[in-house]
Amino acid sequence: MKLNQSLNIKVRQLAMDGQAYVPIQGETVILNGVLPDEEVKVTLIKRIKEGWIGRVDALIKRSPKRVNSACPYSLKCGGCAYLHMDYAYELQLKKQQLIDLVNSQGLRLKVHDVCGMEAPCAYRNKIIMSFGRHGKQVQFGFYSDYSHEIVDIKNCLNHDEVSNRILQTIKELIIKYRVEIYDEDRRTGFLRHVLIRRGFMSNQTLVCFVGAQKVWPGSKNFVSELIQRCPEVTSVVQNTNSRKTSVVLGDEEKILYGKGFIIDKLLGVKYTISAKSFYQINHDQTEKLYAKAIELMALKGNEMVYDMYCGIGTIGISAASKAKKVIGVEVNRQAVEDAKKNAAVNQIKNVEFVCEDASAYMKKAAAQRRMVDAVFIDPPRSGSDEAFLTALANMKPKQIVYVSCNPQTQMRDIKVLMKYGYQAEECYPFDMFPRTAHVESVVLMSRKDK
């Protein structure tokens, strides 16, 4: 196969990343924006490690599940992989992908229907805007697929109207106040990213400007015009990240306006959320997911519960009234401070938060033969690790509820726990990121000898 070659391709299925990986002549052609059972005319446009990237030039056979994308940027922007399909079909597809994953891992696990949104749009409460340059012109927006190119987006369907308006205002102010954009290659300039965090229940907004240096000349006028034009902005912080890294936030932070955090409400509890703390992206779906995780744990009121990888303490705090005691463990210091504040403000007295690596904490707890009845685990996409899972199994909690935004690492970890005498019972998927290929999954595990 060679560059610019034209091919007709039949698509059988989509992988969990939303792409079709089609084997042809001993190679793989990778396609975006296609559906199972479609036939497409393709040009090979790029060679990458995994195979050839194909550009779809025409549909030869169209799936009845195909819809016209409501987003004018979907051909360029890499944000949403599933805008070209009917939403009901998207949920079916996500369920089938999970069933295929479970089967491929040899697991016997009942996968329930994916819990979707009634209106799958305007759900993102966190946005990160990146910058680039086209000649002398500054570009603002999000990265496109397979490149470092920035797509300038005025109205993202996943953002609410307020976020889109704040983003547009920031773009105008960057030009008006001639804020220098950071140049990754030369390592010159100032502004690297802008992070926006919305509290959908409180209508509060935190804007975080990530700069390469601590000094931002003209920040006072910039910020004062921003808050005057966008009254929903209740706090502005400046984060400094001078490292050569793709990680967005650096360690240092300075408050430029307001309190440096926002408040939002989840399942009736108020939470403090700082720029650096993890907070679930989709408010309404998070409430449903937490409710299910807590229901599955079926606490009676006398249990010692761990909330591992607890972020700002949301799962543990939500479950606290049903348990004797909850201990939340989290490695991010800022998140732990938020979690402690959240417990205090809401007068929840039976929770305690520890800032420590989850595996180190679990190993210590197992070595000291501490007692735990029930454990929530909600690790990052990479999942947990062998040390954590071994120590957890040694402590023999009766129930484990594993929440994950990456079912592949979740199933890998579940298999480890099964070796140690746990059985996985049911998998409840939640569509936390509609129109993208991501799906969140909640799995209940119990000890076979309970």
Q: Residue 287 interacts with ligand SAM (CB under 6 A)?
A: no
Q: How many CB atoms lie within 10 A of CB 133?
A: 15
CB of 431 to ligand SAM, least distance (A): 16
The residue from 217, 218, 380, 421 that contacts ligand SAM (CB under 6 A) is: 380
Using CB under 6 A, which of 32, 332, 342, 410 touches ligand SAM? 332
Residue type, 242: S
Tell me the one-letter amino acid at 108. Answer: R
What whole-number distance in Å separates Cα of residue 252 and Cα of residue 264?
Answer: 24
Candidates 148-156, 213-221, 329-337, 415-423: pick the segment binding ligand SAM (CB under 6 A): 329-337
Can you tell me the distance from the alpha carbon of 411 to that of 289, in angstroms, rounded to the nearest whole number? 18
For residues 58 and 33, the answer to whether their CB atoms sit within 8 Å is no
Nearer to ligand SAM, 32 or 342 (CB): 342
Q: How far is the CB of 148 from ligand SAM (least distance, A)?
A: 26
330 touches ligand SAM (CB under 6 A):
yes
Shortest Å distance, C-beta 442 to ligand SAM? 11
Which residues have CB under 8 Å from 38's CB, separation 6+?
10, 11, 59, 60, 61, 62, 63, 66
Pair 212, 248: CB distance under 8 Å: no
Query: Which stretch, 46-54, 108-116, 235-243, 272-280, contacts ligand SAM (CB under 6 A)?
Result: 272-280
| Smallest distance, ligand SAM to C-beta of residue 413, A | 13
Q: Smallest gap, in angstroms, from Cβ of residue 297 to ligand SAM?
A: 14
What residue number has its CB nearest to ligand SAM?
Answer: 311
Within the chain, what is the greatest distance between any pair of CA atoms? Answer: 67
Residue 199 binds ligand SAM, judged by CB under 6 A: no
442 binds ligand SAM, rule: CB under 6 A:
no
Residue 423 bridge partners (DSSP)? 446
For ligand SAM, the binding residue among 280, 342, 399, 436 (CB under 6 A) is 280
Q: Pairing between strand 51-61 and 27-31? A: parallel
* CA-based nearest residue to 330, from 376, 366, 290, 371: 376
β partners of residue 32 = none
Question: Which residues are tagged catalytic?
Answer: 405
Please give the single-letter amino acid code of residue 418.
M
Is 232 an interacting residue with respect to ligand SAM (CB under 6 A)?
no
Residues between 289 and 318 with contacts to ligand SAM, criterion CB under 6 A: 309-311, 314-315
Q: Which stretch binds ligand SAM (CB under 6 A): 16-24, 62-70, 174-182, 372-380?
A: 372-380
Task: Check: CB of residue 13 under 8 Å from CB of residue 104.
Answer: no
Stretch that binds ligand SAM, among 31-39, 159-167, 202-210, 325-333 (CB under 6 A): 325-333
* Annotated binding residue 337: no
By CB under 6 A, residue 271 contacts ligand SAM: no
Q: Is 264 in the site for ligand SAM (CB under 6 A)?
A: no
How far from each other are the two terminal CA atoms of the chain, in whole angstroms?
Answer: 57
User: Does 330 count as an annotated binding residue?
Assistant: yes
**Binding positions for ligand SAM, 390-409, rule CB under 6 A:** 405
Q: What secondary structure letter does DSSP report for 238?
A: E
Amino acid letter, residue 122 = A
3-state secondary structure of 102: helix
Q: Does 443 bind ligand SAM (CB under 6 A)?
A: no
**Tokens for 205?**
């907004």
Q: Which of 233, 358, 393, 443 is close enough to bind ligand SAM by CB under 6 A?
A: 358
Q: Is 40 in contact with 58 (CB distance < 8 Å)?
A: yes
Q: How many CB atoms lie within 10 A of CB 419?
A: 10
Nearer Cβ to ligand SAM (56/308): 308
User: Under the criterion CB under 6 A, does residue 342 sit at the interface with ligand SAM?
Assistant: no
Amino acid making up residue 44: L
Q: Chain-centre distance of CA 202, in angstroms? A: 21
- Based on the shown chain and the rule CB under 6 A, indicate whether residue 257 belongs to the binding site for ligand SAM: no
User: Which residues lie near ligand SAM (CB under 6 A)?
Assistant: 278-280, 309-311, 314-315, 329-332, 335, 357-358, 378-380, 405
